[in-house]
């Protein structure tokens, strides 16, 4: 698959006259089209809802676009709940899925009317204590343990994950919750990350659907929804085949009709909680080549660094790079594309074959729309970049300004020595 940018060199040159690099850029048209296709894929399920994982791209402008496309939000912290509320989400349009949760955050979620998804059986007591009740609608997160395997091999190892309840704990939790007044129940699980296969969701669905039938039969708990969570990934590499969300939705439908419908559970709503699939391909990091170095290797230094995109440094993750204006030139130069942090892993690419790069060239680093800006930090005193939105009409809107030194020093306002800067 050829990796194409959703923005032209001419557009970027115009943007950089107003907004200095580096910056993250999002494609409104692509986001909306993808969200609508997601809804189409699960339109067979009357109660379907996508709860966008706020952690992936925590920006209110992005959340507003997704809200207009019928999405809810999946929150895992107080500040994500605050952002969702500010955008206008409330009630069961918010799913609160957290772990090791501060009690006061359960209270905040309940005050907003959010659906609380319990990560551990001990959280039942915590929720009851802080709320003085058990919510009538509640969900539990499941972890079957062991490994999660599909036809193409082992996808992930849930047994090593800190999340979710064991099978026995799920049955115990539902009995306790029902006894304490819960009336409507959900099941949630996340068993593999960034899968690029149409098989994952249907396989996960079969596990959860079979569990749901047993839980409802043996505990009497009414299962109202099953949350397939995230895990549907994107093709970071150009040789990867992208997921077909329509085929995935159809695969889940078949399992639904095989398992739930015969059990009299054809009214169960299907929820998803995607972040990467919803936003990843519709964002990029735009950076400029500012240095070149010829030592034991050939290096291109850019004005972005791992502060702006830490996935390559943290995971060794691949992100495709396009040198704008040189898309049709030969890939005959081997470079390490690097940032300026005092860390040797601050590299966007290692031994990457690219066209010859000159200082001043604009580089687009693909697929940063999820877990890109969101994972930023301030090591070396580096400042986070701006976020821009390429709107459907071709105009550009700044949806988050770049940090300034004043922002960096803001929490030192208690220090007289820093008065000059804060």
- Domain positions in the chain are 28-279, 281-412
* Distance of alpha carbon 345 from the chain centroid: 23
Q: Are strands 283-294 and 298-302 parallel, antiparallel or unpaired?
A: antiparallel
Of the CATH numbers 3.20.20.10, 3.30.565.10, 3.10.350.10, 3.40.720.10, which one belongs to the domain with range 28-279? 3.20.20.10
49 contacts 308 by C-beta, under 8 angstroms = no
Asked if 398 and 19 count as a contact pair (C-beta separation under 8 A), the reply is: yes
Under-70 pLDDT residues of the chain: 1, 150-156
pLDDT given at position 145: 84
pLDDT for 152:
59
Total-model pTM: 0.95
- pLDDT for residue 158: 76
How far is 130 from 209, CA to CA, in rounded Å?
A: 31
Alpha helix (H) residue ranges in 220-353: 245-259, 276-279, 311-315
pLDDT of residue 162: 86
Residue 147, pLDDT score? 75
Backbone angles phi, psi at 148, to 5 degrees: -110, 115
What span, in angstroms and rounded, lies between the C-alpha atoms of 132 and 110?
11
Domains 28-279 and 281-412 share a fold: no
Name residue 225's beta-bridge partners.
Answer: 186, 269
List, in order, residues 6 or more apart from 14 with CB less than 8 Å away: none
Give the containing element (helix H, strand E) for 118. strand 115-118
Classify residue 211 by its DSSP letter: H
pLDDT at residue number 192: 85
Supply the pLDDT for residue 247. Answer: 98
DSSP-derived secondary structure letter, 421: T
Q: Report CA 5 to chain centroid distance, whole Å.
A: 20
Residue 156 has a pLDDT of 65
- On whether the CB atoms of residues 296 and 258 are closer than 8 A, the answer is no
Residue 51 near residue 73 (C-beta atoms within 8 A):
yes
Closest by Cα among 374, 311, 377 to 348: 311
State the average pLDDT for the chain: 95
Does domain 281-412 fall under CATH 2.40.37.10? My reply is yes
């Amino acid at each position: 698959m050829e990796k194409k940018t959703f923005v032209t060199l001419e557009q970027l040159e115009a943007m950089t006259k107003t907004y200095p690099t580096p910056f993250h850029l999002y494609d409104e048209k692509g986001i909306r089209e993808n969200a609508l296709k997601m809804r189409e894929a699960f339109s067979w399920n009357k109660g379907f809802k996508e709860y966008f994982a706020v952690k992936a791209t925590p920006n209110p402008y992005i959340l507003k676009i997704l809200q207009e496309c019928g999405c809810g939000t999946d929150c895992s912290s107080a500040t994500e709940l605050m952002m969702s509320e500010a955008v206008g989400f409330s009630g069961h349009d918010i799913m609160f899925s957290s772990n090791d949760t501060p009690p006061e955050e359960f209270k905040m979620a309940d005050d907003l009317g959010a659906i609380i998804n319990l990560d551990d059986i001990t959280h039942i007591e915590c929720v009851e204590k802080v709320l003085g009740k058990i919510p009538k609608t509640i969900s539990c997160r499941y972890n079957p343990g062991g490994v999660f395997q599909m036809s193409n091999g082992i996808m992930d190892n849930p047994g090593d994950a800190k999340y979710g309840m064991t099978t026995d704990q799920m049955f115990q939790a539902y009995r306790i919750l029902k006894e304490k007044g819960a009336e409507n129940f959900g099941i949630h699980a996340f068993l593999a990350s960034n899968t690029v296969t149409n098989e994952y969701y249907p396989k996960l669905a079969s596990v959860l659907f079979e569990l749901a039938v047993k839980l409802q039969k043996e505990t009497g708990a009414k299962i109202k929804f099953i949350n397939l969570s995230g895990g549907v990934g994107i093709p970071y590499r150009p040789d990867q085949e992208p997921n077909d969300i329509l085929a995935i939705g159809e695969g889940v439908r078949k399992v639904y009709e095989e398992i739930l419908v015969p059990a009299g559970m054809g009214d169960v709503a299907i929820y998803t909680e995607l972040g990467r699939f919803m936003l990843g391909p519709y964002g990029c990091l735009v950076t400029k080549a500012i240095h070149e170095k010829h030592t034991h290797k050939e290096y291109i230094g850019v004005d972005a660094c791992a502060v702006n995109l830490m996935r390559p440094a943290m995971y060794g993750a691949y992100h495709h790079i396009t040198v704008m204006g040189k898309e049709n030139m030969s890939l005959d130069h081997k470079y390490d594309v690097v940032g300026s942090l005092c860390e040797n892993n601050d590299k966007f690419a290692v031994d990457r074959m690219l066209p010859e790069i000159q200082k001043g060239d604009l580089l687009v680093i693909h697929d940063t729309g999820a877990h890109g800006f969101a994972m930023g930090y301030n090591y070396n005193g580096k400042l986070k970049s701006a976020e821009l939105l390429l709107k459907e009409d071709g105009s550009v809107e700044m949806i988050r300004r770049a940090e300034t030194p004043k922002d960096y020093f803001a929490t030192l306002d208690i220090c007289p020595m820093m008065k000059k800067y804060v």
